[in-house]
Amino acid sequence: MSAPSGRWRRIRALIVKETRQVSRDPSSFVVAFVLPALLLFLFGFGISFDATRLKVGLVIEDPTPASREFLIALSNTPYFDVHESSDRRAFIDDLSAGKLNGVIVLAGDFSEKLARGDTAAIQVISDGSDPNTAALVTGYMQGAWASWREKRGLGAEAPPGQIEIKARFWFNPELQSRRFLVPGSISLIQMMIGSMLTALVVSREWERGTMEALLATPVGVVEFIIGKLVPNFVLGMIAMGVCVAASLFVFDIPLRGSFLVLTGFTAIFLMVALSIGLLISTVARTQFIASQIAMLVAFLPGLYFSGFLFEVASMPAPLRVFARVVPAYYYVPGLQTIFLAGDIWAVILPESLVLIVMAIALFTLTARKTRQRLD
């Protein structure tokens, strides 16, 4: 038999086999479809860095028309759920218990000071044990205070002679965190399918003793690897399709770049993930160990060091260096760019290059490490 035709027949047979197994195995269905959906909805709906309806207590020590007006203004914003009292002690327990996110005190001389144009007219007490929310309460409160003063014709509070800063947010004007969380979670899903699923299906062959039988046939290393890569690559791309559709139609995230660039860029990242999975499977002989290693080397670094949950720039130097070997560190910013900004080649091209180099290096290492023997 001629080598090339035999080789293609064997590769095709392995791909058909793998596809059949995937289609019959509920666990690969779970990893490929249920898990992505779960992650996507978790990040899309469950986790949010924005606050709406912050629970605050408003203490009005001396009810005046001005303070009443402030209360109404505050209640009318979408950000606050306002409870009212005339004594701050009424709220202190709730604040300690975490039932309130903050307490705003309009002191007895509120109207008096307001009329004079003094600055420290209100006091904001927030729960420092949750700094994120505390900052939100303070920030939103300042905003609400400023706009209320402006509306009353009191002017912004900036002392004369200082520069006034006005923020404008590009690409994500409503500052919805899901707009960058969802692209980030797509990277996790690709890692999951690429690394975890691939490592699992190979270690399963070891566990069930089918690897030994395969090794005794004329199947070569490269044929075996391709036989595993192709079906999982297709599975990963399908999952990406599901994610993109969900992003566009469920989460209302704009796709400002082109679909083609998105597909190509994801394909490169998926190759890196698949190579990691195959590399794991060269050392893991059981599914349990394979999933543990995949969790540690692929999933968790992708979660922490891609910059979509935690800002890499504010990490200590050694971690910043480490982040540079995490593939998601390059993929997530590119993905966010394609979704929110467009096909910005200055961002996508260098990141693609790094990922391609990673894929080639990992793939070569895998082909060398994959043994054709049992010892």
Partner 1 sequence: MTTLVAIDGLVKNFDASGPAAIDGLTTQIKSNQVTGLVGPDGAGKTTLIRLMAALLTPSDGVIKTCGFDTRDTPEPIRDVIGYMPQKFGLYEDLTVMENLTLYADLRGVVDPQRKDTFERLLAFTDLARFTNRLAGALSGGMKQKLGLACAMLRSPKLLLLDEPSVGVDPISRRELWRMVYTLIGEGVGVVWSTAYLDEAENCAEVIVMNAGRVLYQGDPKAMTATMAGRVFYARGAGAERREGLARALQNPDIVDGVMQGQTIRLVTAQGAPPPTPEILGVAAPVEIVATAPRFEDAFVAMLGGASKRTLSAQARRPVDETDAPSVEARGLTRRFGDFTAADHITFRIHRGEIFGLLGPNGAGKSTTFKMMCGLLRPSEGAALVDGLDLAKAPSAARARLGYMAQKFSLYGDLSVRQNLEFFAGAYGLSGARRRDAVARVVDAFDLTPHLNANAGGLPLGFKQRLALAAAIMHEPPVLFLDEPTSGVDPLTRREFWATINAMVGRGVTVMVTTHFMDEAEYCDRVALIYRGKAIATGAPEELQARVRSEKMPNPTLEDAFIALVEESDRQREAAA
Cα–Cα distance for residue pair 53/75, rounded to 1 Å = 10
Strand partners, 57: 83, 103
Let me know if 110 is exposed, middle or buried by CB neighbors in 10 A (0-12, 13-18, 19+): buried
Q: Which is nearer to partner 1, 201 or 355 (CB)?
A: 201
Specify the stretch interacting with partner 1 by CB under 8 A; choose among 3-11, 43-51, 230-238, 336-344.
3-11
Q: Phi and psi (nearest 5°) for 101?
A: -85, -20
Q: Does residue 4 belong to the site contacting partner 1 (CB under 8 A)?
A: no
Site string for partner 1, 134-153 (x = CB under 8 A): --------------------
Helix (H) or strand (E) holding 351: helix 345-369
Q: Which is nearer to partner 1, 25 or 94 (CB)?
A: 25
Q: Minimum Å distance from CB 12 to partner 1?
A: 7
Give residues 19-38 in contact with partner 1 (rule: CB under 8 A).
20-21, 24-25
Q: Does residue 288 belong to the site contacting partner 1 (CB under 8 A)?
A: no
DSSP codes of every residue in 169-202? --S-TT--THHHHHHHHHHHHHHIIIIIIHHHHH
Q: Could you tell me the two tokens for 29?
A: 């269905």
The alpha carbon of 185 is separated from its chain's Cα centroid by a whole number of angstroms, namely 4
Q: What share of the chain is helix, strand, coil (3-state, %, to 5)?
A: 65, 5, 30
Choose which of 48, 210, 286, 364 interacts with partner 1 (CB under 8 A): 210
Choose which of 16, 30, 245, 360 interacts with partner 1 (CB under 8 A): 16
Q: Does residue 167 belong to the site contacting partner 1 (CB under 8 A)?
A: no
Q: Minimum Å distance from CB 211 to partner 1?
A: 8
Specify the stretch interacting with partner 1 by CB under 8 A; choose among 130-138, 156-164, 192-200, 216-224.
216-224
The alpha carbon of 111 is separated from its chain's Cα centroid by a whole number of angstroms, namely 46
Q: Minimum Å distance from CB 14 to partner 1?
A: 8
Choose which of 97, 167, 216, 313 interacts with partner 1 (CB under 8 A): 216
Whether the Cβ atoms of residue 107 and residue 61 lie closer than 8 Å to each other: yes
E runs forming strands in the chain: 54-60, 80-85, 102-106, 122-126
Choose which of 12, 88, 256, 320 interacts with partner 1 (CB under 8 A): 12
Q: Minimum Å distance from CB 206 to partner 1?
A: 11
Specify the stretch interacting with partner 1 by CB under 8 A; choose among 15-23, 48-56, 193-201, 316-324.
15-23
Q: Does residue 1 belong to the site contacting partner 1 (CB under 8 A)?
A: yes
Cα–Cα distance for residue pair 198/204, rounded to 1 Å = 10
Q: Which is nearer to partner 1, 219 or 244 (CB)?
A: 219
Kindly report the number of other CB atoms within 10 A of residue 275's CB atom.
Answer: 26
Strand partners, 123: 105
**334 CB-near residues (< 8 Å, 6+ apart):** 265, 347, 348, 351, 352
Q: Does residue 99 belong to the site contacting partner 1 (CB under 8 A)?
A: no
Give residues 190-209 in contact with partner 1 (rule: CB under 8 A).
208-209
CA nearest neighbour of 180 among 11, 19, 285, 48: 48
Choose which of 141, 189, 219, 274 interacts with partner 1 (CB under 8 A): 219
Q: Does residue 87 belong to the site contacting partner 1 (CB under 8 A)?
A: no
Q: Which is nearer to partner 1, 97 or 216 (CB)?
A: 216
Q: Does residue 320 belong to the site contacting partner 1 (CB under 8 A)?
A: no
Cα–Cα distance for residue pair 125/141, rounded to 1 Å = 11
Beginning with the edge strand found earlier in the chain, give each strand of the sheet holding 122-126 in spatial order.
Answer: 80-85, 54-60, 102-106, 122-126
Q: Applying CB under 8 A, what is the total number of residues that bind partner 1?
A: 29
Q: Does residue 375 belong to the site contacting partner 1 (CB under 8 A)?
A: yes
Q: Which is nearer to partner 1, 17 or 113 (CB)?
A: 17
Cα–Cα distance for residue pair 36/43, rounded to 1 Å = 10
Specify the stretch interacting with partner 1 by CB under 8 A; choose among 18-26, 42-50, 67-75, 124-132.
18-26
Interface residues toward partner 1, by CB under 8 A? 1, 6, 9-10, 12-14, 16-17, 20-21, 24-25, 208-210, 212-220, 372-375
